[in-house]
Amino acid sequence: MSPALVFLAGMGASARGWAAQEKAFCKSRRVYCWNAPGYGGTPLPADPSFSGYAAHLARDMSEAGIDRAVLVGHSFGAMVAQQMAADIPERLAGLVLAATSPAFGNKDGAFQKQFVEERVKPLDEGRTMSEMADAMIAASTGRQPDRDGLALARRCMSEVPAETYRAITALITTFDQRANLGHIAVPTLVMAGELDRIAPAPMMRRMASLIPAARFVEIANSGHLIPFEQPAAFNAALCDFLKEIDDE
């Protein structure tokens, strides 16, 4: 039986952001779109951590009747997937790491501080997530994005609680799984957007080279929001990868 697909969204989205992928794959295998704590009406942990999110994901998978799965993560969601690969690798049948990074560097570094300040400043000035969505999505996209996909991205981001957005922005700066890349033992697809300035394709290509069973795919014209911007290309790359897993 083909392994289930578990989709993990980025920090500006929720489970509903995977609508195009759920529609494409639900007829061929079990699909579970996960809401990380703090998203989709779930409570934000008092002290968020990547290990805590990985443990929560494992519990939610068990409650959904899923033992092992291919984790498909985008951005922050792919960081949670990497943490799962380090902490609870027996639950993985494969990994898809899209528009992400194996580390964010020193959380107290100048770049990291600037990253947090730029993203929370509009909230400090009294703007809502809905008011922030258009500018942030425009800054993250490449050429010829899918209009329906971007509309969905905007709706998803507008629904993220400001408290959650602040917490995850700070949490991302603590992430570092570089030491575990060489220990990832499941088939892995590393997917980058050609025009992504947040998780640049050259960096992701190097990341893929450090994972023993990884292949690298670059999605033409896409910026950071690959599943929203280029859903057909994203789904095609995922479909090809799943065929390889099913054939093993």
pLDDT, tens digit, 9 for 90 and up, residues 179-217: 999 999 999 999 999 999 999 999 999 999 999 999 999
Which sequence spans correspond to the domains of the chain? 4-247
Beta pairing partners, 189: 96, 215
**88-120 pLDDT, tens digit each:** 999 999 999 999 999 986 666 677 778 788 888
Q: Are 217 and 224 in contact (CB under 8 A)?
A: no
The closest alpha carbon to 101, from 22, 186, 11, 16, belongs to 11
What letters, b where the CB count within 10 A reaches 16 and e where it falls short, cover 59-79?
ebbeeeebeebbbbbbbbbbb
In this structure, whether the domain defined by 4-247 belongs to CATH 3.40.50.1820 is answered with yes
**52-63 pLDDT, tens digit each:** 999 999 999 999
